Amino acid sequence: AQKITQTQPGMFVQEKEAVTLDCTYDTSDQSYGLFWYKQPSSGEMIFLIYQGSYDEQNATEGRYSLNFQKARKSANLVISASQLGDSAMYFCAMREGHSARQLTFGSGTQLTVLP
């Protein structure tokens, strides 16, 4: 079974609008971390935001916020006031448990911001 599911292969958003990128996850661990990364066409992976399974507040980092719904096992990324530079591939990832060794990534969402 997929541990991280991103159901939107591609998304379009108008500049200055907000956009939500979906991510659902599957784990039986109580302790886990959820991450979002941005990958521009140049190929590097840029860390955006982190949410821990025990965090009661939704994480926020500037224009990025994470809509964490634990019961639904979803961790959607919200980008407010989209900019042309936000056009990129976005990956949701999870790290499980206290002996976690790696991040498991979803298949990604290609976001295109339209002028």
Partner 1 sequence: EADIYQTPRYLVIGTGKKITLECSQTMGHDKMYWYQQDPGMELHLIHYSYGVNSTEKGDLSSESTVSRIRTEHFPLTLESARPSHTSQYLCASSIPGLAGDAYTGELFFGEGSRLTVL
d(CA 81, CA 98): 36
47 binds partner 1 (CB under 8 A): yes
| Residue 86 or 96 having the CB closest to partner 1 | 96
43 binds partner 1 (CB under 8 A): yes
100 binds partner 1 (CB under 8 A): yes
Burial class of residue 115 (count of CB atoms within 10 Å of its CB; 0-12, 13-18, 19+)? exposed
Is 23 within 8 Å of 76 (Cβ atoms)? yes
Task: Provide the minimum distance between the beta carbon of 77 and partner 1 in the complex, in angstroms, as a whole number.
Answer: 14
| Enclosing H/E stretch for 35 | strand 32-39
Q: Give the residues lining the site for partner 1 (CB under 8 A).
A: 31-33, 35, 37, 42-47, 50, 52, 89, 91, 95-103, 105-108, 110
